[in-house]
Structure 1
Amino acid sequence: MMDAYIENNPYKQSHFKKSESFRTLLTEQGIAARLGVSVTTVARYRKKGEIGYTMVGRRIRYTPQHLEDYLVRNEITPCAAPLNRQVSTSSANAEGRTTGARAGMIASRDRQSAHRSALAILGKPKSR
């Protein structure tokens, strides 16, 4: 009966042809399964406004367009070329050498020593 109403009404024909997702409504469980996250995470995304949704009565439903929009907004594209972060300050004969400490070169004991030195120089915070 609904199909006959749509076929006889030109406005409704164009409206329903544009919204093909009308027939595909997903629950939070369905969206969670497609994204590989928990239902609670999907609810959190919805409450923060990160993913759109549709209310059907008092029920929350999602369309494939809501999911696609969310994925497009959160897409991260890789850099075109890797950055060369090594800067050489030595002569041309010493190629490949870099100055300074790289990540992971400072031992945790050295960091603790630096912290203790700072406390000795600046003093401990006074407690109230």
Structure 2
Amino acid sequence: MSNLLNNGKPKKRLLERGPKIVPSQEFKLEPTEEVTVEEVLVQEQQSAPTPQQTEATDSPKTNKRREAAQITSVRVTKTTRNKLNALIQLGKADNVDSLIDILLDEYIETNLVKDEEKTFNLILDIIQKRDR
């Protein structure tokens, strides 16, 4: 058991370490540029379009095109799928997505009362904001 002790011998280093490596730039939590809250608000106001500009630029067609990039799926029965494909074959739309948009727009215009349409638009805006 006494063999396990170092018996006063200096401890041998098994790993020789090189020079200490220091990063060229250290990370700091503070922002690199001092920006005041007022400057940020002014920049946001300048870059944010006015309500009239948003109404002009955010027409339903442009809004749909932006959302078309994000593809999702909807579960329907085979009968509904076949009906949609038959309408596509008739040339009523280019694809199922545009056909469903057309059908929904027609339904909203003809079957919803003004109050229901306002509620629908409000709910739709909330859902779209949540998806962003």
Q: Scaled by the length of structure 1, what TM-score is found?
A: 0.25
Greater strand percent: which structure? 1
Greater helix percent: which structure? 2
Q: Scaled by the length of structure 2, what TM-score is found?
A: 0.25
Q: Rg larger in 1 or in 2?
A: 2
